[in-house]
Structure 1
């Protein structure tokens, strides 16, 4: 009886051992998708996407999916072949096809695209992270092998967000944690967006985000520079703001407002102009109760329609140097601020490279050395903080067209990475 009991006990122990061994073997062979160094990061930080425990040389489809603030779904996919160890590492392995090809570590994110044409990934609010679901799929069966979620934060711990409605100011103030003092930046957007401002606050800047158009562009007959000067004054009154002046960050239509502030408001000490014009555009500009600039003429007959349904707008603006258009030209030669000009050679919205070249030559002619310029050959108009979805075309905002922005995707993304670091360095140097 005792022997039979012992034999039964041994059998049970062996069965249990085998079951545990099989379970451990199954767990050790389970496919894993990892986001390194962590799955939760800032919007402007890269992540390493890595899949392990695949079969040697197994072909998989990597997919990404995200939804913008309007509920529009954006997705991307790329095909990869695992190495001999059964690993796919987007930092070193090339995509064989799909939304992009070649080695593109952040390709799944910047190639996110909506099914409908002319869609911009709307992420203007800072409170909620940009959430991207990344998954690995069996190439033949399509089933999900592994999945992970990347939370990309705009607002860091301790950064305060304060909506501001004071006088003519209608914007959002972002302040870093700590006592300060912090350098101050006025972030001008054509339409209100908190993205750049929140990300700069994470880097140690006090930033007020404002937009050029608080109402519909078609309802705007004139713009007052005084309103933006109020924003500068507001920043300088903040208890955590230090330094002798304020920086201005701008792109597109907002860039000519930034140039005008640099020329007329002494408190502006540093200005970043990105893919804009050297003249005032869209509507006349007023300052101290009178008009200081007319608007550069826009010729609809020079707009070029493309097969995609988007329009090339860059040739529709009249030459600001022409005799009948000079009243729109901004006198940047009288600016005391440090100026950073940034132009994309493949900008299809503005002739920004030509405008930048003219301003550089004019400043040299006046023996000025308070400027530097950067040019990106393969980039388009929409230079933004890096790793967001690349946008080829969408509504122009200032004109009733689906605008073609230009740019070659991977070259455009590389320009965004470089420029974002450049902007921070520029403000740190000149706003100390």
Structure 2
């Protein structure tokens, strides 16, 4: 199918043979898609500034800008052109996306959350091309969505479902697909809602679950029963579009720890795991570090190496060598080594990104800093890495996660 390109044309006044300056970009795309922005109609060697702006959930306008020189054909192709200065460096077609900053606050403690329109998340990115005098030559917009047409979702409550979460289901096609249970980290709440929505857009029914930090749940990560996740997984498995033989857990940080525990302790229900910034052993409670984190059959789990001898599906561990929270890269490697030792017959590997921090997941091209305010702990956590390296890691790992799900 031919791509439909949004082309906005502005004629340069005062020229006997006016040049058309155009910004070419698809009008809509999924939030994890490369934008492929191209500006044409410039003069050879012309210097222009390209600005990208989008509003967040609080109405603040995030912005990135960089300057470029047009090639011999009067084109600036962001997939091929390195900026001469601005919000990012080097050739990176999505640098204007992950390089955006909020208008206030420390950019390294910021995390972009998209605006919500008619109850649905979306990002409307506006591109402006400006000449050296600051005059706007052309504009275009792209709406980046998190859900596909026909995708449905429902909020789960303790009173009705015995779990707090949100389930996203792709448009029915009469077939059953792999289901994904998503578990966030020590930030608490439902932090992976957008990831779950995107996975459903790709055809994978998904359920993101909160296990502390929401009304009716524990206030902190302390003695969380693994059976709580079992209840959520069974609810997802019961959906008509889910193949219960192909269920996987996807977790980030402490959620990766819980995901590996679920794959090990409930192998008939959870058939593998995607582990972002994982640990290979049971960590203590958070934020006091004095209590136990998890229980199984009412017994607190000891702070010991997590066995993997019962894991019944593929495992993908994603980590950065500059993780500022814990040693996730050695942990990821140890998990795959232990799976080898257990003669696990399913695909398993570690993706280790040199220089990346704790933010190696999940979907790419999101503006986010390298620090994070932990509300439960009342302090700022250093996550490590840098924006460019973390963004590159996300862009490389995310397609491999989708490929793993397709191969189930």
TM-score normalized with structure 1 length? 0.80
- 1:136 correspondence with 2:136: no
- 1:391 correspondence with 2:369: yes
Distance in 2 between the 1:287 and 1:352 partners?
A: 23
204-213 vs 119-128, which moves further: 119-128
Any gaps of 5 or more consecutive residues in structure 1? 1-21, 295-326
- 1:377 correspondence with 2:370: no
**Secondary structure in 1 aligned to 2:208?**
strand
Q: Residue 82 of structure 1: CA displacement?
A: 1.5
Distance in 1 between the 2:405 and 2:349 partners?
A: 13
Say if 1:180 and 1:198 are closer, same or farther in 2 by CA, change over 3 A. Answer: same
Any gaps of 5 or more consecutive residues in structure 2? 1-11, 286-291
Q: Residue 398 of structure 1: CA displacement?
A: 5.2
Match of 2:7 in 1: none
- 1:93 correspondence with 2:81: yes
> Which of these residues, 148, 153, 156, is aligned with residue 161 of structure 1?
153
Distance in 1 between the 2:28 and 2:17 partners?
A: 25
Distance in 1 between the 2:13 and 2:341 partners?
A: 77
Q: Residue 373 of structure 1: CA displacement?
A: 1.8
Say if 1:347 and 1:122 are closer, same or farther in 2 by CA, change over 3 A. Answer: same
Q: Residue 208 of structure 1: CA displacement?
A: 0.9
Q: Residue 30 of structure 1: CA displacement?
A: 4.2
Distance in 2 between the 1:391 and 1:215 partners?
A: 25
After superposition, the C-alpha distances for 1:113-155 in whole angstroms (9 at most, x for unaligned) are 124211111249781311211111122x222221111110100
- After the TM superposition, which residues 161-240 of structure 1 pair with which residues of structure 2 at under 5 Å, given as runs? 161-165=153-157, 166-177=160-171, 178-190=173-185, 191-192=189-190, 193-215=192-214, 219-240=220-241
**Secondary structure in 2 aligned to 1:340?**
strand
Whether the aligned pair in 1 keeps the contact of 2:244 and 2:269 (CA below 8 Å) is no
- After the TM superposition, which residues 233-248 of structure 1 pair with which residues of structure 2 at under 5 Å, given as runs? 233-248=234-249
Whether the aligned pair in 2 keeps the contact of 1:270 and 1:427 (CA below 8 Å) is no
Match of 1:348 in 2: 324
Match of 2:405 in 1: 427
Match of 1:148 in 2: 140
Distance in 2 between the 1:212 and 1:153 partners?
A: 27
Q: Residue 364 of structure 1: CA displacement?
A: 3.6
Distance in 2 between the 1:201 and 1:133 partners?
A: 26
Whether the aligned pair in 1 keeps the contact of 2:248 and 2:273 (CA below 8 Å) is yes
- 1:32 correspondence with 2:22: yes
Distance in 1 between the 2:58 and 2:245 partners?
A: 40
Q: Residue 248 of structure 1: CA displacement?
A: 0.6
After superposition, the C-alpha distances for 1:370-425 in whole angstroms (9 at most, x for unaligned) are 43222112322112201222432221455333222222433332321221111112
Q: Residue 352 of structure 1: CA displacement?
A: 0.1
TM-score normalized with structure 2 length? 0.84
**Secondary structure in 1 aligned to 2:230?**
helix
Whether the aligned pair in 2 keeps the contact of 1:212 and 1:254 (CA below 8 Å) is no
- After the TM superposition, which residues 36-75 of structure 1 pair with which residues of structure 2 at under 5 Å, given as runs? 38-75=26-63
**Secondary structure in 2 aligned to 1:108?**
helix
Match of 1:291 in 2: 299
Distance in 1 between the 2:389 and 2:296 partners?
A: 43
Distance in 2 between the 1:282 and 1:27 partners?
A: 71
Q: Residue 367 of structure 1: CA displacement?
A: 3.9
Q: Residue 189 of structure 1: CA displacement?
A: 1.7
- 1:332 correspondence with 2:308: yes
| Aligned residue pair count | 374
After superposition, the C-alpha distances for 1:315-358 in whole angstroms (9 at most, x for unaligned) are xxxxxxxxxxxx34322233333322222112222210122233
Q: Residue 261 of structure 1: CA displacement?
A: 0.7
Say if 1:30 and 1:261 are closer, same or farther in 2 by CA, change over 3 A. Answer: same
Whether the aligned pair in 2 keeps the contact of 1:345 and 1:376 (CA below 8 Å) is yes
Match of 2:105 in 1: 116
